[in-house]
A and B are shown apart, each in its own frame.
Chain A
Amino acid sequence: MTAALHRRMDQAGRFYASPVRGTRLTVVLGRALATVFLLCFVTGVFSHLLQDPPSWMVYPLRPVWIYQLTQGVHITAGIASIPLLLAKLWSVFPNLLAWPPVRGVAHGLERASIALFVSSSLVEVTIGLINTYKWYPWPFPFRQTHYWLAWVIIGSLAVHIAVKLPLIAAHWRRPSATAAMPREGAAAAAHAGATDAAGAVATAHSTGTSVSATATGEGAVAAASPGRWSRRGFLGGVTAATTLLVVTTAGQSFAALGAFNIFAPRRQGTGPQNVPVNRTSEAAGVATAAGAADWVLRIHSRSHTRSFSRAELGAMPQATFDLPVACVEGWSQNAAWTGVPIRDLLAAIGAAPDSDLRITSLEKDGFYRQSTMPAAYSADPQTLVALALNGETLDLEHGFPARVMAPGRPGVLQTKWLADIEVLA
């Protein structure tokens, strides 16, 4: 049975053999993918820390578009990783068919770590992409799963690089022999390389070594064999696919690419008052409460309480700031917000401007009906209880009668349909 499986694996290896594959290609793709994964990881952890801040957290409030930038990069890099990941996996696929599948404890551990790496990466980019569509066809919480899988992936990446470092070092630069190969020799070499690639699989199977390490015609197969494209052409194709995906989706985050935005789930400039909406008043169940004539915003500390009607808030000195609403899903929109600086409201009840606040919405249910605002934000002069958007009274979908807007803060924490602001001790 073992021999029969061995023969099957050999057959599969020959079926999947391609002269385009090679260690150099894998290293080049790996470099790009690692860069993109690292970008995703750093920006993703930043977003996570803003939503679940540890006690030591330092909050960058300037530039006011910092979260707009980092989350836009996070989503765009995540989308870019899709063709890169698939290309990288394609480049090493024959290794999956190497026989025997496990040669020892260390080899088994390596293969297990790669299985974890591959499966986690595929799931992470898939749920990340589909989350931006606001569709959740999975049985686990997105945010927490996405966060923990990110650590598994970045850890797996480090282990993978550690294991493959000799190969990576050997193939980091383009081999000079290939560059110097005369054109007329390339076709013959490519043909030899095509044979070598298939032969390398058979050789690897019999010697139990990695296919990529024994592909002897690697330099030769850089040129194309008949009916196929070249390795450089493949890289060009992957680059083109990645670039096109980025260009046709990044416009939801970056206005400069707005004209090319044909595949992103959001478009800048859409929605009430030309700003997209995340949670609607209908989903939040606040339409009646928000429209109540006796609505007041209650601001209280341990010792003082005051309530402000919308008219009373409107009579206070107003400030207008250009602040982006930047969603965790990557879309963002710059807008002019007008309202009362929160620190003026805190002063009205004798509270210190740099106070931690608990902010509560009119929403009865929902994970974000309540948020905690650290003192760094409440003390910032550009943090508002906003009453107007782009010169018009705040629309119900944007948080009428009042909402919070602060610089550099994720959109889910810019609480809409305010009911209560509590000064925390």
Chain B
Amino acid sequence: MTGSEVAVTGRGKWLRWGLGAAGVAGIAFGLLGLPGDLGPPQLIGLLGWLAAAVVLHDGVLVALSTLAGAGLKRFTFGLGTVSQVILRATLLCGAAATLVVVPLLKAQQEVRTLTVDEGPYALALGIFWLALVVLAAAAIAAVELRLRKAARASAHAA
């Protein structure tokens, strides 16, 4: 037990054991149910998807986001904390929307069903990013201007 953990005793111990047991039961129920509905080739396909998800996330997504963060740190060093928050939050929002819309754009090419995937998603995503960038730029400019005014005022007072 490290200093940042809380000792779990009495009812807490029972809760842990109960959760653990229920969890194992749930996992077993799910894993045992799969072969009942999926044939061997489908199970292998699912395993492939499970492995690919981890590789894609750990090997690609995390690396990309870390590099992006490092790049941001280098190029925005002079910005204050609030401006950093605005900038990075903006990029997070844009990235989340892009993650959801990119497969939708692919589906638009594959699916031809009335009233499904019919929107101008590429255009919507472009306008979404534009709006994010404009709002973020305006907010950062306002914050930085206010900080500079405050710094000048305190230097003048000193």
CB of B111 within 8 Å of the partner chain = yes
Query: B49: nearest residue on chain A (CB-CB)?
Result: A123
Inter-chain contacts of A167 with B (CB < 8 A):
4-5
Which residues on B are within 8 Å of A, measured CB to CB? 1-2, 4-8, 12, 15-17, 19-20, 22-31, 33-34, 37-38, 41-43, 45-46, 49-51, 53-54, 56-58, 61-62, 65-66, 69, 72-74, 76-77, 81, 84-85, 88-89, 92-93, 95-97, 99-101, 103-104, 106-107, 110-111, 113-119, 121, 124-125, 128
For the complex formed, measure the closest distance between the CB of B103 and the CB atoms of chain A, giving whole angstroms.
Answer: 5
Interface string of A163-191 (1 = CB under 8 A from B): 10111011100000000000000000000
Complex formed: what's the CA distance from A140 to B42 in Å?
5
Complex formed: what's the CA distance from A137 to B38 in Å?
16
Complex formed: what's the CA distance from A319 to B49 in Å?
49
Q: Across the interface, do A158 and B85 meet the contact criterion of CB distance under 8 Å?
A: no
CB of A342 within 8 Å of the partner chain = no
Complex formed: what's the CA distance from A237 to B79 in Å?
17
Complex formed: what's the CA distance from A148 to B29 in Å?
8
Q: Across the interface, do B23 and A122 meet the contact criterion of CB distance under 8 Å?
A: no
Partner of A155, one of B5, B7, B25, B57: B25
Q: Across the interface, do B4 and A23 meet the contact criterion of CB distance under 8 Å?
A: yes
Inter-chain contacts of A152 with B (CB < 8 A):
26-27, 30-31
Complex formed: what's the CA distance from A158 to B115 in Å?
39
Partner of B69, one of A18, A144, A242, A262: A18
Which range holds the interface residue count of chain A?
Answer: 35 or more
Query: Looking at the complex, which of A2-10, A127-135, A309-317, A359-367 is the stretch in contact with chain B?
Result: A127-135
For the complex formed, measure the closest distance between the CB of B49 and the CB atoms of chain A, giving whole angstroms.
Answer: 5
Inter-chain contacts of A118 with B (CB < 8 A):
53-54, 57
Q: Given A165-B15, A241-B92, A265-B117, does the pair A158, B45 have CB atoms closer than 8 Å? A: no
Complex formed: what's the CA distance from A256 to B100 in Å?
21
A-B contact pairs, 7 of them (CB 8 A): A140-B49, A158-B20, A162-B15, A237-B93, A262-B121, A276-B115, A277-B113
CB of A230 within 8 Å of the partner chain = yes
Inter-chain contacts of B125 with A (CB < 8 A):
263
Q: Across the interface, do B30 and A155 meet the contact criterion of CB distance under 8 Å?
A: yes
Inter-chain contacts of B1 with A (CB < 8 A):
166
Q: Given A140-B45, A248-B97, does the pair A224, B23 have CB atoms closer than 8 Å? A: no
For the complex formed, measure the closest distance between the CB of B26 and the CB atoms of chain A, giving whole angstroms.
Answer: 3
Q: Given A140-B42, A152-B26, does the pair A280, B114 have CB atoms closer than 8 Å? A: yes
Q: Across the interface, do A229 and B92 meet the contact criterion of CB distance under 8 Å?
A: no
Complex formed: what's the CA distance from A126 to B111 in Å?
17
Q: Across the interface, do B23 and A162 meet the contact criterion of CB distance under 8 Å?
A: yes
Q: Given A96-B58, A123-B50, does the pair A154, B26 have CB atoms closer than 8 Å? A: yes
**How many cross-chain pairs have Cβ atoms below 8 Å apart between A and B?**
259
Inter-chain contacts of A266 with B (CB < 8 A):
115-116
Partner of B113, one of A137, A267, A272, A283: A283
Complex formed: what's the CA distance from A241 to B100 in Å?
12
Which residues on A are within 8 Å of B, measured CB to CB? 15-16, 18, 23, 79, 82-83, 86, 89-90, 93, 96, 113, 115-116, 118-120, 122-123, 126-127, 129-130, 133-135, 137-141, 144-145, 147-163, 165-167, 169-171, 209, 213-214, 218, 223-224, 226-230, 233-234, 236-238, 240-242, 244-245, 248-249, 262-267, 270-272, 276-278, 280, 283, 397
Q: Across the interface, do B104 and A155 meet the contact criterion of CB distance under 8 Å?
A: no
Q: Across the interface, do A165 and B116 meet the contact criterion of CB distance under 8 Å?
A: no
Partner of A245, one of B62, B96, B113: B96
Complex formed: what's the CA distance from A171 to B42 in Å?
41
Query: A243: nearest residue on chain B (CB-CB)?
Result: B93
Inter-chain contacts of B110 with A (CB < 8 A):
135, 137
Query: A120: nearest residue on chain B (CB-CB)?
Result: B50
Complex formed: what's the CA distance from A93 to B117 in Å?
34
* New A-B pairs, 17, CB < 8 Å, besides A93-B62, A227-B74, A236-B89: A82-B100, A93-B58, A119-B50, A133-B103, A133-B104, A149-B30, A151-B26, A159-B24, A162-B16, A162-B20, A166-B5, A241-B96, A244-B93, A262-B119, A265-B107, A280-B113, A283-B113
Complex formed: what's the CA distance from A135 to B105 in Å?
11
Q: Given A120-B50, A167-B5, A230-B85, does the pair A397, B114 have CB atoms closer than 8 Å? A: yes
Q: Across the interface, do B115 and A270 meet the contact criterion of CB distance under 8 Å?
A: yes
Complex formed: what's the CA distance from A145 to B47 in Å?
11
Complex formed: what's the CA distance from A242 to B59 in Å?
24
Q: Across the interface, do B2 and A141 meet the contact criterion of CB distance under 8 Å?
A: no
Q: Across the interface, do A233 and B19 meet the contact criterion of CB distance under 8 Å?
A: no
Q: Given A118-B57, A141-B38, does the pair A135, B20 have CB atoms closer than 8 Å? A: no
Q: Given A155-B23, A162-B17, does the pair A236, B85 have CB atoms closer than 8 Å? A: yes
Q: Across the interface, do A119 and B89 meet the contact criterion of CB distance under 8 Å?
A: no
Inter-chain contacts of A153 with B (CB < 8 A):
30
Q: Across the interface, do B30 and A209 meet the contact criterion of CB distance under 8 Å?
A: no
Partner of B111, one of A123, A134, A171: A134
Complex formed: what's the CA distance from A18 to B96 in Å?
21
Complex formed: what's the CA distance from A255 to B15 in Å?
41
Query: B48: nearest residue on chain A (CB-CB)?
Result: A139
For the complex formed, measure the closest distance between the CB of B143 and the CB atoms of chain A, giving whole angstroms.
Answer: 13
Query: B34: nearest residue on chain A (CB-CB)?
Result: A148
Partner of A240, one of B29, B58, B61, B93: B93
For the complex formed, measure the closest distance between the CB of A253 and the CB atoms of chain B, giving whole angstroms.
Answer: 15
